[in-house]
Structure 1
Amino acid sequence: MNKLTDYKQLLANLKVTFKFVGVVWIAISASILIGCVSDGDYSNIYDPMYFLSFAPFIVIATLAYTNLKNSHINKFICSILFAGIGALLMNLFYFLGNFIEVEEINIRFILYMSSIVFGVLSMLYLQLPWKDENA
C-alpha cells in the first residue's frame, strides 16, 4: 500500500467511526440531560462533555486498527496488538484522571476493566469489516 491510500483509508475509517460514536454520544447525552432535568439533580450535567475527552483514544485506536489491517501480520496477532493498545490507552486515561482529581488508584478496577477492554477489543478487531475496498 502506498501512503496516500493508507491516509484515505484512515480518513474513511475515522469518518465511519465518528458517525457511530456521534450517534451513541447524542443518545447517551440526551438520556443524561433528560435524567438530570426529570430528577432535578444537575450533578451529572457535565458528563456528556467528559465523554468528548475520549476522542483522542478513538483516533489513536482507529489509526492502530488501520495500520494493523494494512500490515501483513497474522490477524490474530493483530487482534492482540490492537486490544493491547486499547487497554494501554484506557489505563493511561484512568491514570490521568486520577492524577488530575488526586484520587487513590484502584488496582482491582484497573485489572478488571483492562481484561474487559482487552477481550472486547480483540473480538472487535476480528469482527470489523473495514477493508481496502470500503475506503
Structure 2
Amino acid sequence: MTYKVEKSDDEWRAELSDEEYRVLRQAGTEPAFTGEYTDTKTEGVYHCRACGAELFRSDTKFESHCGWPSFFDPADSDAVETRPDDSLPGRPRTEVLCRTCGSHLGHVFAGEGYGTPTDLRYCINSIAIRLDPTD
C-alpha cells in the first residue's frame, strides 16, 4: 500500500527511539500496564507518534483493564486501517495501522462485551501515540 508519509528504514530509525521503532515499524508490543496512556483520563486528541496523524479522541477511550489504552472508535473512518494478523499460532487477530504512514498501532477486537457503542476495542500501544491535551 502507498502511504501519504513514506520514509526509508534509515529515516524511521533516525527519527524514532529504539523502542518506538520496534513497536511502530516492526509490529512490536510494549509490556502490558507500562504505557504512559494506559490509565490517563486527560481529554484531548491522540496522534500517531511516527507521523502526527490524528488517530483517536479521548471521548472514545474507555477502561478495559487489558493493560493498554483502549478506544471504541477511531477519530475518523479514514484514520486507521486494519489487516489480518496470524503471527500468534492459533490466535488470529486484526492489526491496526496508521493509514497515513503504515505504522503498527496495536490490534482491534470485537464482541468482548464492553458495552461500547461499536462493540470494538482498539487496543493501542501507548508508545505508538501522542496525546495533545485539550485546553
TM-score category of the 2 structures, normalised to the smaller one: under 0.3
The higher radius of gyration belongs to 1
Question: TM-score scaled by structure 2?
Answer: 0.26
Q: Which has the higher helix share?
A: 1
